[in-house]
């Protein structure tokens, strides 16, 4: 099974800050990586897939990069509405589909 390790588990940043979340896979997942945003009490929302492909309607301040085992989600200018928990998910080798443990983003 492919394990997904996300870091940090939580962060606090100021409005306008650049925020970076990393996700490491236990083996090469060949860019088969998705990022989700989940706000409290809500369903997850797909932000990016294929490591860097932005979903329609997602603000351009969100971007993804990486290859092999290491991937990054970047928010270039943190906004109050970005407060949420972010999850990565690999879909290269299934089953199982695996998620990272999540990163909780708060405003300082």
Partner 1 sequence: EVQLLESGGGSIQPGGSLSLSCAASGLSFSSYAMSWVRQAPGQGLEWVSVISGSRGRTYYADSVKGRFTISRDNSKNTLYLQMNTLRVEDTAVYFCAKGGFGAPGSFMDVWGKGTTVTVSS
Q: Does 73 bind partner 1 (CB under 8 A)?
A: no
Q: Does 32 bind partner 1 (CB under 8 A)?
A: yes
Q: What is residue 46's three-state secondary structure?
A: strand
107 conformational bin, left if phi > 0, alpha if psi -120 to 50, beta if neither: beta
Applying CB under 8 A, among 16, 57, 80, 96 the residue interacting with partner 1 is 96
Residue 84, number of CB atoms within 10 A of its CB? 20
| Dihedral sign, Cα of residue 59, residue 62, residue 63, residue 69 | negative
Q: Which is nearer to partner 1, 17 or 69 (CB)?
A: 69
Binding residue count for partner 1, defined by CB under 8 A:
26
Q: Which is nearer to partner 1, 14 or 43 (CB)?
A: 43
Q: Does 3 bind partner 1 (CB under 8 A)?
A: no
Cα gap 21→41, rounded to integer Å: 22
Query: Which residues in this chain contact partner 1 in the complex, by CB under 8 A?
Result: 32, 34, 36, 38, 42-46, 49, 55, 85, 87, 89, 91-102
């Amino acid at each position: 099974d492919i394990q997904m390790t996300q870091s940090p588990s939580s962060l606090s940043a100021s409005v306008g800050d650049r925020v970076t979340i990393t996700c490491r896979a236990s083996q090469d997942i060949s860019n088969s990586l998705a990022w989700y945003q989940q706000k409290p009490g809500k369903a997850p929302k797909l932000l990016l897939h294929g490591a860097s492909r932005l979903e329609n309607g997602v603000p351009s301040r969100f971007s993804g990069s990486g290859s092999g085992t290491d991937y990054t989600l970047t928010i270039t200018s943190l906004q109050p509405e970005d407060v949420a928990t972010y999850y990565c998910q690999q879909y290269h080798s299934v089953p199982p589909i695996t998620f990272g443990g999540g990163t909780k983003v708060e405003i300082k």
